[in-house]
Structure 1
Amino acid sequence: MTDRRTYIDIHILQTVPPSNLNRDDAGSPKQAVYGGARRARVSSQAWKRATRKAFKDELGIPADQLGTRTKRVSTLLASRLAERTGLDGEAATRLSNALLTHDLDIKPGKKAAESAYLLFFGRAQLDAIVDLVADRATELTALADDALAKAVADLPIRAQLTVKHPIDVALFGRMVADIPSLNVDAATQVAHALSVHPVEIEFDYYTAVDDEKTPEEDAGAAMIGTVEFTSATLYRFATLDVQHLARNLDQDPEATVAALRAFLRAFVTSMPTGHQNTFAHRTVPSVVSYVVRGDQPVNLVSAFESPIRSRDGIAAKAAVRLAEELNRTSTVWGLTPLAVASVYDPASAAVASSRNGPEADPASAVQAFGAARSLDDAIDATIAAVRPRLDGSTTPR
């Protein structure tokens, strides 16, 4: 497999209605100042979690092919030991603790059955640990504590967590400060989503009525409160290092392609769930552009450093700005993409161009984004552009 650099940048414009996708410690929608204007913000962590969930919820990938982030690694391992070997719960827990304590030195947490920190790992990796002791589990649990620790001392427990990473661990990485050898460098970077225009925080004053009150009783509400919200057209960006992902997946081209396909769809279709029952905010993007590069990732947020101010729609104008910035990175900086595959409406982008004045080029969107495609077609085209670079052959510019 080739070591040449290959990146897939994902650029998304997505409009959400009144919502509170991602709130701060005071319950307010997260914000940031950019270009001298206050913007709506959704943290990268919030969208990465939504993306991880989308692998299972939207793509149908079996849970045993995915990772889990938990403090209960010992409990999960004990459950698998009991299932495979027939050990009772107490014996399985004792063997699990012995395996994890010796080679991994996973420190206990404040609560029973929990470690001191979250560990992100694959369920199949736990099964690989079980494989090491399954045929002699009963024999091991019959030993005294000191003898058990000595008996498992030479087992490569740690090694099972450093290979055969599931898609989400390979993509998003893992950091274990106390055990650096377990760290996995992420293959993807996700930016905080920002609104392309200024926003103001608004307040929804709500009341709840007691259904069992009689007309003769106090007619007032049983509960009152407020919830803060914004509405915004967001620019979302992520980039994926294809070769790094391949290394995290043990240089398996087919596993790498499967992971790429899963991420390209899940990142686009996922949505953070903050206050979702209150606002029903789930929308689909107005623009999705996959840009394959062989030089470096390029975040195009500079297109919106000057905030868009409009009374007749923002999304189409944002698409023109994004297209112009993508073109500018090629003409000015020489960062020409290897391939571009996009989902957008050329007609609305052309109308927005005409409204931006004579200096705007109505064809800029088509020039930058290429022919408009369906999401499935755009993903297929992106995979087709990347696959030869995994196989070591030449990808035409």
Structure 2
Amino acid sequence: MARTTPHAYIDVHILQTVPPANLNRDDQGNPKEAYFGGVRRSRVSSQAWKRATRIDFAERVPEQDLATRTRRVSAALADRIAERTGLDADSASRLAAALLAPLKITAGKREGDTAYLFFYGRRQLDAVAELVRDRAADLVGLDDEELAGEIGKLPVQEKFSTGHPMDVALFGRMVADIPALNVDAATQVAHALSTHAVELEFDYFTAVDDKAQKENETGAGMIGTIGFNSATLYRYATVGLHQLLHNLQDKEAAVTAVEEFVTSFARSVPSGYGNSFAHRTLPSLVAVLVRTDQPVNLVSAFEEPVTASAGLAAASARRLAYEHSTATRVWGEAPAFTSLSHTFTDHGETADVLKNAFGEPVTFAQLQAGLRAHLTDTLKQAAR
């Protein structure tokens, strides 16, 4: 399959303005930052936005078609065994431990836990539980050595190595102890950076003790501070269609996974201090480019920070358009597919610059439909 599948990289470029917020905190509880282009920028880690994307998947994708990342895989497997066989909790836990033992995953400090988070598909875990469903009663009657011998004949590793769910196929899996269980990620996500310099600010807040107030006591019941900033963020991710197809072994599933990723990456927002800041916004620009040469992050558009006194989002959009046009002209590698959705339709100069760089703007739904059609046609052409 790898020989006939052309390399295709789906680059997703997003500009999103976020009001005062603390989306992703550092070890001191303040918004993460980074120096870029000589100034301090707001930063949201790739891990934070990948998790937000995975959580957004769950709103549309059936639960059983998704994955779980946990140290407690043994307990989850025991629950499935108990549901299918009627075994008591102790017997189910013994079988679960025996099934996972051949994988030789390093044990964690807590009994039954693994030393690191294990990312597995829920259907994969169901398939492992099914291996012992019909023999469960006989297996629990064996001593430890006999049980290990019988379990060793079962294709446990194979069940975890096939039938990957969409999120494992997209984000990959690293199992240090068992390289055979590793799944190369089809997706790379950059840290989001503000297109301009930011300053850390603090919200000084007090909370009133309702009962004390009724009794005419003065003073606050609680005093504290929360660090925050506000920013127009440049966000970037890329999906390798060829790697995704390798992971899923299904063309339709691969195209659907790209579509779901683009939707969730665009619409998701990390939830840090969400109740305090209500910071959820939608992007002002989403550009999707399919490249056949290599992924291209356009963050260099903002190496010189945007300094507009007003309209940071619009100025950032123009910078992005110029950077894309310049890169295409200089390197001579035009994308195989380009589509743009944005909210600057009433900004004459900005709308014209974006149109010249990316073509006529479309709605996000039209962008998705066009992307699906292009990827489907690409895979059909490769199969001929």
TM-score normalised by structure 2 residue count: 0.96
Alignment check: 8 A CA contact 1:129 1:160 kept: yes
Alignment check: 8 A CA contact 1:108 1:116 kept: yes
Q: Counterpart amino acid of 1:111?
A: R
Aligned to 2:41: 39
Residue 305 (structure 1) aligned to one of 300, 303, 306: 303
Q: Secondary structure at the match of 1:363?
A: helix
1:248 aligns with 2:241: no
Q: Counterpart amino acid of 2:375?
A: V
Structure 2 residue runs of 5 or longer lacking an equivalent are none
Aligned to 1:221: 220
Aligned to 1:356: none
Superposed CA deviations along residues 166-217 of structure 1, whole A, max 9, x for unmatched, are 0000000011112211111100000000000000001111001110124664
1:363 CA displacement: 3.1
1:327 CA displacement: 0.9
Alignment check: 8 A CA contact 2:284 2:344 kept: no
Aligned to 1:131: 130
CA distance in structure 2 between the aligned counterparts of 1:316 and 1:350, rounded to whole angstroms: 10
1:73 aligns with 2:67: no
1:350 CA displacement: 3.1
Alignment check: 8 A CA contact 2:12 2:286 kept: yes
Q: Secondary structure at the match of 1:161?
A: helix
Q: Secondary structure at the match of 2:360?
A: coil
RMSD, aligned CA: 1.5
CA distance in structure 1 between the aligned counterparts of 2:322 and 2:276, rounded to whole angstroms: 37
CA distance in structure 1 between the aligned counterparts of 2:213 and 2:183, rounded to whole angstroms: 62
Structure 1 residue runs of 5 or longer lacking an equivalent are 353-361
Q: Secondary structure at the match of 2:109?
A: coil
Q: Secondary structure at the match of 2:69?
A: strand
Alignment check: 8 A CA contact 2:106 2:177 kept: no
1:112 CA displacement: 2.5
Q: Secondary structure at the match of 2:154?
A: coil
Aligned to 1:365: 354
1:19 aligns with 2:21: yes
TM-score normalised by structure 1 residue count: 0.93
Once the two structures are superposed, the pairs formed by residues 366-385 of structure 1 within 5 Å of their partners are 366-385=355-374
Q: Secondary structure at the match of 2:237?
A: strand
Aligned to 2:163: 164
Alignment check: 8 A CA contact 1:345 1:372 kept: no
**Distance of aligned partners of 1:247 and 1:220 in 2 relative to their CA distance in 1, 3 Å threshold:** same
CA distance in structure 1 between the aligned counterparts of 2:219 and 2:319, rounded to whole angstroms: 50
CA distance in structure 1 between the aligned counterparts of 2:149 and 2:241, rounded to whole angstroms: 42
Q: Counterpart amino acid of 1:392?
A: Q
Aligned to 1:54: 56
Aligned to 2:89: 89
Aligned to 2:256: 258
1:113 CA displacement: 2.7
CA distance in structure 2 between the aligned counterparts of 1:349 and 1:176, rounded to whole angstroms: 49
Aligned to 2:150: 151
1:131 CA displacement: 2.3
Q: Secondary structure at the match of 2:100?
A: helix
Aligned to 1:10: 12
CA distance in structure 2 between the aligned counterparts of 1:10 and 1:74, rounded to whole angstroms: 37
CA distance in structure 2 between the aligned counterparts of 1:349 and 1:184, rounded to whole angstroms: 44
1:347 aligns with 2:336: no
1:389 CA displacement: 1.9
Once the two structures are superposed, the pairs formed by residues 181-260 of structure 1 within 5 Å of their partners are 181-214=180-213, 217-250=216-249, 252-260=250-258
Alignment check: 8 A CA contact 2:298 2:324 kept: yes
Q: Secondary structure at the match of 1:213?
A: helix
CA distance in structure 1 between the aligned counterparts of 2:108 and 2:215, rounded to whole angstroms: 55
